[in-house]
């Protein structure tokens, strides 16, 4: 197993080392391949990522990624989008689960669901024309693209409570009818219990009754919006991990960005990045992955927390405390 490690910019350089300390605590045999990509490198050298870097990444099995500052230059090609395309990471997966002692906007703590977002087509097809009086973007829904995301979501549902919610807007966007039909067919063929929701009522329902849901599958832009919204259910951007999964590769990144406002101070919250390590271990099929949940609960209960959660601990202290718990528990 080879793991590419991309700290990136800003707080990526703080939270990833903390997460790697936790990963190291598992004592696994894996080769770590550090890569320097992003804005800082772009400023220094004029390239954020080279073709050689892509080759190196493709020589790995998975990627642990921090964050990259969005480059304010029209010539800049997004590192993230390029990697997503090159590795064909078609499923964006975000678990939404409360953490002990942390209250989100609704004050509820009885939910536990996963958003599975189609990551390669839909409104983010990249097929568009920008004009003076008319601009348009093509919204692409394919049978193949819908099938593979539905398959992924159904497999996940089978491992959980066998319940799938298909989120769409097929009453207005006729292209979504294909997505909805394919998801229904795939769910039936797997014996997964399913229902469907229009995305607008889903947004409302997720805030009012988040406990109703288990696995949610949806198209690219709806998943993008709903998953950021759901970070507010958990409570802090610094607590939410995500995975981008393909047939061959997987890519793990915290939901937050590079947070230039707090970068370099050593006070960023590493728990989202640490929960990415948990997702990585799950992807690897490591049965010890859930120890990270226990360890995170333990540091939260003992108030070893960063200022965003009202504490005084540093990024490194939190990472170290989680790593020590893991070593002790294993």
Taking a C-beta distance cutoff of 8 angstroms, is the pair 326, 26 a contact? yes
- Catalytic residue, candidates 73, 200, 265, 303: 200
- Among this protein's residues, is 9 annotated catalytic? no
Query: Which residue lies nearer to Mg ion by CB, 21 or 224?
Result: 224
Taking a C-beta distance cutoff of 8 angstroms, is the pair 186, 147 a contact? yes
* Paired strand residues for 215: 114, 164
Query: Which residue lies nearer to ligand ATP by CB, 83 or 186?
Result: 83
Phi, psi for 112 (deg, rounded to 5): -165, 95
- Among this protein's residues, is 194 annotated catalytic? no
- 296: tokens are 């995170």
Report the nearest approach of ligand ATP to the CB of residue 108 (Å): 22
Strand order in the sheet with 241-245: 31-35, 2-8, 62-67, 250-254, 241-245, 91-96, 113-118, 215-218, 163-168, 193-198
Report the nearest approach of ligand ATP to the CB of residue 234 (Å): 13
Q: Which does 199 bind (CB under 5 to 8 A by kind): Mg ion, ligand ATP, none?
A: none
308 binds ligand ATP (CB under 6 A): yes
- Among this protein's residues, is 224 annotated catalytic? yes
* 69-98 positions binding ligand ATP, by CB under 6 A: 69-70
Question: Where do runs of H (alpha helix) occur along the chain?
Answer: 12-25, 39-45, 51-58, 79-86, 143-159, 175-190, 199-208, 220-234, 271-284, 291-301, 315-329
Locus of tokens 């090609």: 77
- Among this protein's residues, is 169 annotated catalytic? yes
257 binds Mg ion (CB under 5 A): yes
Taking a C-beta distance cutoff of 8 angstroms, is the pair 63, 261 a contact? no
3-state helix, strand, coil in the chain (%, to 5): 45, 20, 35
Report the nearest approach of ligand ATP to the CB of residue 26 (Å): 22
Taking a C-beta distance cutoff of 8 angstroms, is the pair 215, 162 a contact? no
Report the nearest approach of ligand ATP to the CB of residue 246 (Å): 23
Tell me which of 60, 187, 262, 295 binds ligand ATP, using CB under 6 A. Answer: 262
- Among this protein's residues, is 196 annotated catalytic? no
Question: Where do runs of H (alpha helix) occur along 113-142?
Answer: none
Our CA angle for 321, 325, 327, nearest 5°, is 115
67 binds ligand ATP (CB under 6 A): yes
Query: Which residue lies nearer to ligand ATP by CB, 170 or 258?
Result: 258
Q: Which does 319 bind (CB under 5 to 8 A by kind): Mg ion, ligand ATP, none?
A: none
DSSP class of 97: -
DSSP class of 255: S
From the list 118-126, 165-173, 174-182, 262-270, the region that binds ligand ATP by CB under 6 A is 262-270
- Catalytic residue, candidates 9, 53, 90, 124: 124
From the list 149-157, 195-203, 252-260, 322-330, the region that binds ligand ATP by CB under 6 A is 252-260
7 binds ligand ATP (CB under 6 A): no
Taking a C-beta distance cutoff of 8 angstroms, is the pair 42, 76 a contact? yes
Report the nearest approach of ligand ATP to the CB of residue 131 (Å): 28
Report the nearest approach of ligand ATP to the CB of residue 119 (Å): 18
49 binds ligand ATP (CB under 6 A): no
Tell me which of 259, 274, 277, 292 binds ligand ATP, using CB under 6 A. Answer: 259
- Catalytic residue, candidates 53, 169, 249, 325: 169
Active site residues: 124, 169, 200, 224, 228
Q: What are the residues binding ligand ATP (CB under 6 A)?
A: 11, 15, 67, 69-70, 237-238, 256-262, 268-269, 272, 308
Q: What are the residues binding Mg ion (CB under 5 A)?
A: 257
């Amino acid at each position: 197993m080879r793991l590419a490690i991309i700290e990136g910019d800003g707080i990526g350089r703080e939270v990833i080392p903390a997460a790697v300390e936790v990963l190291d605590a598992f004592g696994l045999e894996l080769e770590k391949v550090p890569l320097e990509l992003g804005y800082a490198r772009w400023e220094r050298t004029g390239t954020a990522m080279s073709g050689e870097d892509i080759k190196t990444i493709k020589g790995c099995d998975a990627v642990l990624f921090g964050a990259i500052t969005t480059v304010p230059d029209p010539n800049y090609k997004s590192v993230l989008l390029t990697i997503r395309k090159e590795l064909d990471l078609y499923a964006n997966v975000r678990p939404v689960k409360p953490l002990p002692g942390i209250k989100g906007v609704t004050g509820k703590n009885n939910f536990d669901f996963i958003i599975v977002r189609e990551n390669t087509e839909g409104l983010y097809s990249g097929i568009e024309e920008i004009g003076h009086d008319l601009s348009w973007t093509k919204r692409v829904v394919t049978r193949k693209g819908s099938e593979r995301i539905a398959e992924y979501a159904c497999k996940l549902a089978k491992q959980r409570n066998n319940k799938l919610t298909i989120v769409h807007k097929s009453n207005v966007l006729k292209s979504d009818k294909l997505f909805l039909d394919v998801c229904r067919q795939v769910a039936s063929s797997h014996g997964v219990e399913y229902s469907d929701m229009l995305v607008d009522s889903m947004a409302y329902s997720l805030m009012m009754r988040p406990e109703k849901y288990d696995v949610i599958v949806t198209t690219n832009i709806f998943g993008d919006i709903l998953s950021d919204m759901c970070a507010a259910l958990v409570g802090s951007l610094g607590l939410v991990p995500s995975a981008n999964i393909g047939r061959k590769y997987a890519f793990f990144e915290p939901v937050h960005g590079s947070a230039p406002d707090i970068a370099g101070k050593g006070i960023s919250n590493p728990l989202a990045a640490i929960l990415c390590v948990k997702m990585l271990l799950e992807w690897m099929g490591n049965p010890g992955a859930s120890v990270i949940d226990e360890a995170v609960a333990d540091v939260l209960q003992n108030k070893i927390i960063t200022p965003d959660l009202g504490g005084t601990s540093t990024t490194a202290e939190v990472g170290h405390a989680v790593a020590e718990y893991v070593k002790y528990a294993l």
